[in-house]
Amino acid sequence: MLTRKQHELLAFIDQHLRQTGFSPSFEEMKEALNLRSKSGIHRLITALEERGFLKRRAHRARALEVMRLPDNLAPVKPAPAPAPAAGFAPNVIRGNFAPNLSGIARSNDAAAVHLPLYGRIAAGLPIEALRDQGTSIEVPAALLGSGDHYALEVAGDSMVDAGILDGDTVIIRRGDVADNGAIVVALVDEAEVTLKRLRKRGNSIALEAANARYETRIFGPDRVKVQGKLIGLLRRY
């Protein structure tokens, strides 16, 4: 689920691309959404990039490409691309888990347990509101330690420099506190769930991507809630 403004901007960019073959200017986007400044457009584009709806081609002006659309918009028709560039996927994740995982199911192998596994998530709901225990993954018991855990499928490249790649499965220990510098599942404004490195900067909270392509986002302490801490990673080749 996108916010209303994210939805409006994505629809406007897609329509402009279909009609003209190139993306609208920031000024055109600002006027279309009736915003006061271009900085608001920049934040919306960054959020849509991170969720995999848009791709911004480096070192080119007005070079946005719609990668996908929500279900309630028309299917994407590929638009002419200004020039080839390395693509990237969204950095968002689907995070659904049961509130109490103390009764984790044991597999036939005593050295493994089953954790709830969830895939990609769009902004709009905290993970507690998305409970679904239909899918699980087998995880070595020695990886977990104490506490309640859940697994998330990573989508995108925002944490690649921390060794977390698109398609990886991360193991999260549920909790609402984390050390400075820890990689956490964070809930922003009771609406957006994201996997980022947590930094405390005075009275503010910074959520850092591990990829120079993404900006560090700064929030007041009341806007960010820790949902869990990264404690392990699984990868299939």
Among 105, 101, 163, 102, residue whose Cα is nearest residue 139: 105
158 tagged catalytic: yes
30, 196, 204, 229: the catalytic one is 196
* Half-sphere exposure at residue 131, Cβ-oriented, CA atoms within 13 angstroms: 6
What contacts 155, CB < 8 A, 6 or more positions away? Answer: 52, 89, 90, 91, 92, 93, 94, 119, 120, 166, 167
Beta carbons of 2 and 124 less than 8 angstroms apart:
yes
Gap between the Cα atoms of 168 and 63, Å rounded: 29
Count of alpha carbons within 13 Å of 142, Cβ hemisphere only?
Answer: 2
Q: Are strands 112-118 and 149-154 parallel, antiparallel or unpaired?
A: parallel
Task: Locate the DSSP E strands across the chain.
Answer: 54-56, 64-66, 93-94, 105-106, 112-118, 136-140, 149-154, 169-174, 183-188, 192-201, 204-208, 217-219, 224-234
55 is catalytic: no
* Cβ atoms within 10 Å, residue 138: 18
3-state secondary structure of 115: strand
Which is the catalytic residue, given 23, 30, 158, 229? 158
**Residues that are catalytic:** 158, 196
